[in-house]
A and B are shown apart, each in its own frame.
Chain A
Amino acid sequence: MAYNPSFVDIEYAARTAILEAALKVASIFDYTRFKDDIDKASKVITYLKAIQNDDSLTFDEKTQIYQCIISTAGIFDFPVAPQLGSASVPDIILGGSGNTVIINQGSSLTQGSNTDIDVTTETVDTFATNLYQSVLWLYKVTSPSGAIRSGTISATWTGSLVEWAEASTLDLNGDTSGLTFDVTNNGTVIALRATVTSNNWQVYFTRIPNYIN
């Protein structure tokens, strides 16, 4: 089965390549000896900035730039021999050829809850920023009166910055608008937080890393 890295995968691997190149160049006094590494890394930096700073790029243009990143950074240089005999928990693969969805290894899924959320803001989930680069939470909210909604929150971060987005079902059995989520990043810890307008709310979640370091 061919593995097609996502844009997020490519960006992460490209940044890894940049960091490795920087450390390599920094390891000696005469950095000019690594001019080729500097040139390649500089191109990758430029390509990444082109993607990040231009909202007008089409999907095809982005794909072309990502291909340049792959070839310049020397990442995802497939084909590779399959790795057999892994003792780790296997991936769960859904869908047919060309439409596969890989849910990350079972050991990386995290389930949890905060079953007593009171006014005003409480933390639902926390983890170190260096564990992943992005994450998806599946959640179910239950109000004090039994109204429920389900949804997802995706988040990605770098440094002390974080971007997140929520999508959810409509409410059942009443109104759950009294609970809102947000995601914070203090540079070390990512926190999924719930802000409520009354006491005794419940949140159950499953955390799925989009990329494992």
Chain B
Amino acid sequence: MTPHHHPTDQDLLDYATGAASSGLALLVAAHATLCPPCRARVADFEAAGGALLADLPPVPTTPGLEAALLARLDRPLPVPPPSGDPAGVLPAPLAARVGPSRTLAWRRVVPGIERVDVDPEGGPYAPRLFRLAPGLAIPPHRHTGTERTLVLAGGFHDNVGHYGRGDVSVLDDVIVHDQHIDAGDPCLALVVADGPLRPTTTYGRLLQWFARA
């Protein structure tokens, strides 16, 4: 099924031009794996890139380049290892970073919330995978920057709507966010933030401390 909630058109453009941060690019590529219309939109932006490239006034390369290139044609390129998740849960761009879904090393943040760092050296706002317990309610909080969440399994609802597999929630610094995880299965989600969250309760402040520590 095609997702209902998508990254912004600006996010897709930034992905296509290469202006996206590595976290945003990962989220867009993972969402696009699950969303044919967004793949088509990115392909259109890339078509514009191709047209711009083809119309650039040429800058000649040095005469030796052609021979150097030909000499390298028969040397095979290093083949990247297959990156897909055999279980089909994690989109390949994400599985390439964290491995298959069955072998994820979950760390408990607080009861009901577990986390895996996608980029352990990426700093406090690097992309993270969260596993949230069914039925969990996350207290109201607000974000200082923009936070994007891609649901990969299970689902949640908040004051905006319901989010299931493939859906992207985009929150800015205005929305007070009040999340309820669906009953049934745990919710697996990729979260890419560009600012700290601003909790509006004591429990939320504790949660923030644990989630970013």
A and B physically associate: no
B residues in contact (CB < 8 Å) with A: none
